[in-house]
Amino acid sequence: MKAAELFDLSGHVAVVTGAASGLGLAIAQVIAANGGRVAMLDIDEGKLKQAAAAIDEAGGAVETFSVDIAEAGKVESVVDAYAERYGRLDCVFANAGVSGGPGYGKPEGELEAASMELWDACLRVNLDGAFRTIRVAAKHMKPRRQGSIVVTSSVAALHASALPSYGYHAAKAGIAQVVRVAALELGPHNVRVNAIAPGPFRTNIANGRMHTPEGAAAFADTVPLGRLAELDEIKGLALLLASPASTYMTGAIIPIDGGTQA
C-alpha cells in the first residue's frame, strides 16, 4: 500500500476541539488537507471563523461551532448533530485546553499561592471537557465498530516540572489515564483511543509566555533539541493517528517533545 493510501482521509468525518488556533488549528488543517471533513469547535468565535475561512479557501471542507468545552451538554449536542447529519464519525480530537497559570517556578504558582479558581478552571476544561468529548465520540463510533479518538495530553502528564501549573499537571495526567482505560473498554468495539503528549510548542496556552524571549528560552532550556516546536510539527503525528496508518495503535500516550522524555 502506498503512503498516499495509508494517510488518505477522503470521506472521513472529524471533530477537533480548541481548533481556532495553536495545535487544534494545525490538526484541523492537516485533516482537511488530506480529504477529511472537519467540525472546528472553539470558544473564540472570531478566531474560529477566520481560521476556518483560510482552510476553506485552500479547498478544505470545514464547519465551525462556537462551544465552551467546559459547559456541560454543549460539546455533546454539537457532536451529536454533526455525526447524525453525515451518518458517521471517524475521528475526534479532544484538544481544547488551558494552562491554569504558572507553576511553582513563579511565586504565584507555589502551593500556598496557587489560585484555586485557576485550578478549577483547568480541570473543567482539560479533564472534564476532554472526558465529555471522549464519551460522545464513543457513543457514535461503537455502533459502526470503527473510529479514532485522540486526546491532547502533555509531557506534564509524564514528568513533573516547575513551569506548568499544579492544575495543568493534574488534569493532563488524569486525562492520560482516562485514555488508557477508554482504550481497554473500546478496543473490543474496534475504536482506538490514543493521546498526544506535546512538549513545548509555540502556542498561546501558557498565557503568551511562549511568544516572549524569556518564556521561550525557559521552555527551550528543558528540551534536548534546544528549541520550541513549531505548530506544523504536530501534523505528522495527528495525521497518523487519524488515518488508516494507525489501525493497530490504541492506549498509547505518545510524546512529541524534542527529546525531553529521554
pLDDT value of residue 209? 63
| Amino acid sitting at position 141 | M
- Tens digit of each residue's pLDDT (9 = 90 or more) over 29-64: 999 999 999 999 999 999 999 999 999 999 999 999
Query: Which pLDDT tens digit goes with each residue over 60-109?
Result: 999 999 999 999 999 999 999 999 999 999 999 999 999 999 999 999 99
Higher pLDDT, 200 or 19: 19
At 127, list the grid cell: 479533564
Domains of the chain: 3-256 (3.40.50.720)
* Known catalytic residue at 168: yes
Q: Count of residues for the chain?
A: 262
Predicted pLDDT at 207: 59
Give the span between the Cα atoms of 175 and 216, in whole angstroms: 26
Whether pTM exceeds 0.85: yes
Q: 82, 86, 168, 248: which one is catalytic?
A: 168
DSSP bridge partners of 102: 164
Q: Which residue has the higher pLDDT, 261 or 86?
A: 86
pLDDT attached to residue 171? 98
Asked whether the predicted pLDDT for residue 235 surpasses 70, the reply is yes
Structural contact between residues 31 and 91, judged by C-beta atoms closer than 8 angstroms = yes
Q: Cβ distance 38 to 16 under 8 Å?
A: yes
pLDDT (tens digit per residue) in 185-217: 999 999 999 999 999 898 776 556 666 777 778
Largest CA distance in the chain: 57
